[in-house]
Amino acid sequence: MTASPATDAAASLIADLVTHGVRDLVLSPGSRSQALALAAVRAAREGLLRVHVRIDERVAGFTALGLSRETGAPAAVVCTSGTAVAGLLPAVMEAFHAGVPLLLLTGDRPPELRGVGANQATVQPGIFAAFVREQIDAPVPGDGEGDGDWSGLAARAVAVAMGADAAHGHAGVEGPVHLNLPSREPLSGEMSALVAEPGTAARPERGEPVVLDRGRRTVVIAGADAGPAAEEVAHAGSWPLIAEIVSGARFGRQIVHGYRGLLSTPELGGRIERAVVLGHPTLSREVTRLLSRSDVEVIAVRGGGEELDLNGRTRAAASVIVAEGAPDREWLGAWLAASAAAAVDLSERAPDTDGLASTDFAARRDAVKAELDAVRRPLDRELLVDAVWRATWPHDRLMFGSSRLVRVADAVLGGKKVPVHANRGLAGIDGTIATATGIAVASQADGSPGVTRVLLGDLAFLHDVGALLIAPDETRPRMQVIVGNDGGGTIFDGLEVAASADPADLDRAFYTPHDVGLEQLALAYGWEYHRVTTRTALDQVLTTPSGGRQLIEVPLAR
């Protein structure tokens, strides 16, 4: 077999990635990246790497994003040259804004084939420039002694993706890194043994924490990806915790229910002097208004590619700790009293056992009717999100799509410590199912129990329907994709356009109604399908998963 410098360089790079902590690689097939693909598959066969194959680069990018979200280590995604590279852009943008480590390995033509009209050749160096921590246009393997060596790239890429980027002002902040990897023919050849000792992708220190005194009326804001740290800060400071449903911090004694309304009151929201922000808050205008106020001191723990600074004077922090001192119990007590009054209880009323056992016909009839009405009660958005929330536990994973349902969930759901994910870096509907698939694969990789549930609207589902496809030789994760199907983008009903646009124009340009048969899509992709219309039926499907992949359609009114 013909020797190939590309193969040697690719094998060395893949081995180095494994050594520096990369455990997952998502691969989209293509010619120019064939050496990387073959090296990755070889590493997988030898038990050094988990390889996931996706034919669509956009799906591949978001699958890698989900793997990185769940593991905390950078997953790599490999693609060929040309438009394949552009397909990664939505996932790269999300990773940048959400602060998720990600490695982009893009095959490319050598310099002499760029800008001359060669097939599948475009301007790849710099294509992600605004959204990556670092970009490297690697040398061509075989170009002179040592000049085409890709050694050292893996160590640098992993370190920068994990936040070792003080020179660029991103110290401690994770994000994507782009390695553009050109090669000449022959693009593959005989491969030597891969030598790698699996290592760990270490996160560097984030710097000195900001010490918070207890003297000001403070609230803790937990946005997307805040995690348990937000609850810990609120608990340490005895401060009210305003936790978005996507934060992973909606639990504990300091949780504020109905926070949107309470932030608008002069008695509570109007008296706030300081807001401590963890994660990226995106779900309410009330929080945005609070963080935009010039009279409120805002301290934001940075987690993504952009610093939060809506009021022009927000202080960035690597982390925060609370100083010793006496808590303001009156301040916290006022919030918790208002929170208790604002809490939403969607639990079913207990059966009338006395009525059901009564010898009086009328009493027994009324009790039976009440039970039948409860069983037959149709699902609305509040009951849907409540059912999914109640079915999910710490060994499960829950992924929210950027649909109307996540705002309903944020408004009505109570506290519960479960692992929650959402692509809220840019809050787009892109890649929801693909991201959740990566999360499911990673969380179940070692045989761990649990189900990954995805709650999203019909348009977000259709936008990423290609992510339902998983190669038959790959492990099928336990997933439940729950689609609230109201036949279009009803999230626009609550925006300004609904009050100003002609109804026909609103439908065509925004609501975008459809008549897609979700059952046929599920069957085509090999998913089990359920259509449920009552709370009882939904509870049964959610709590008795078959062990495979289920698409659960819940029809909803506009």
Question: Helix, strand, coil shares of the chain as percentages rounded to 5?
Answer: 40, 15, 45
Kind plus residue range of the DSSP H or E element containing 397: strand 397-400
User: pLDDT tens digits, residue range 244-291?
Assistant: 999 999 999 999 999 999 999 999 999 999 999 999 999 999 999 999
Q: Which residues of 190-222 are buried (b: 16+ CB within 10 A; e: fewer)?
A: ebeebebeebebeeeeeeeeeebebeebbbbbb
Kind plus residue range of the DSSP H or E element containing 179: strand 176-182
Residue 370: what pLDDT?
60
Phi and psi at residue 377, to the nearest 5°: -60, 125
Among 268, 406, 390, CA closest to 341: 268
Q: How far apart are CA 508 and CA 485, in angstroms?
A: 17
Among 206, 239, 205, CA closest to 222: 239
Range 5-182 classified under CATH 3.40.50.720? no
SS3 of residue 140 by DSSP = coil
Q: How is 105-132 classified by DSSP, letter by letter?
A: EEEE--GGGSSS--TT----TTTTGGG-
Among 521, 381, 531, CA closest to 457: 381
Q: How far apart are CA 352 and CA 384, in angstroms?
A: 24
Confirm whether 5-182 and 377-555 share one CATH topology: yes
Q: In the chain, what are the domain boundaries? A: 5-182, 210-342, 377-555
Q: How far apart are CA 484 and CA 382, in angstroms?
A: 11
Q: How far apart are CA 250 and CA 244, in angstroms?
A: 7
Burial class (CB in 10 A: 0-12, 13-18, 19+), 311: middle
Pairing relationship of beta strands 274-278 and 50-53 according to DSSP bridges: unpaired
pTM: 0.93
Peptide linkage before 186 cis (omega within 30 of 0)? yes
Residue 202: what pLDDT?
86
User: pLDDT tens digits, residue range 460-511?
Assistant: 999 999 999 999 999 899 999 999 999 887 777 776 777 788 888 878 888 8
State the CB neighbour count (10 A cutoff) for residue 91: 32
Q: Are 426 and 435 in contact (CB under 8 A)?
A: no
Residue 499: what pLDDT?
78
User: How far, in Å, are 327, 377, 484 from residue 487 at the CA level?
Assistant: 50, 21, 9
* Residues of the chain scoring pLDDT < 50: none
Provide the angle, in degrees to the nearest 10, between the axes of the packed helices 404-412 and 381-391: 70
Q: How far apart are CA 433 and CA 19, in angstroms?
A: 30
Which class would CATH give 377-555?
Answer: alpha beta
Q: Which residues of 166-184 are buried (b: 16+ CB within 10 A; e: fewer)?
A: eeeebbbbbbbbbbbbbbb
Q: Name 525's Cβ contacts closer than 8 Å, sequence gap at least 6.
A: 465, 468, 469
Phi and psi at residue 245, to the nearest 5°: -65, -25
Q: Which residues of 118-137 are buried (b: 16+ CB within 10 A; e: fewer)?
A: eebbeebbebbeebbbbbbe
Helices (H), 444-525: 458-463, 496-500, 503-506, 518-524
Residue 497: what pLDDT?
72
User: pLDDT tens digits, residue range 480-493?
Assistant: 999 999 988 777 77
Provide the angle, in degrees to the nearest 10, between the axes of the packed helices 57-71 and 432-443: 40
Q: Are 212 and 169 in contact (CB under 8 A)?
A: no
Residue where the block lists tokens 């059966």: 351
Residue 547: what pLDDT?
75
Task: Measure CA 1 to chain center.
Answer: 44
Q: Are 14 and 198 in contact (CB under 8 A)?
A: no
Phi and psi at residue 261, to the nearest 5°: -65, -40
State the CB neighbour count (10 A cutoff) for residue 242: 33
SS3 of residue 498 by DSSP = helix
Q: How far apart are CA 173 and CA 171, in angstroms?
A: 6
SS3 of residue 506 by DSSP = helix
Range 210-342 classified under CATH 3.40.640.10? no
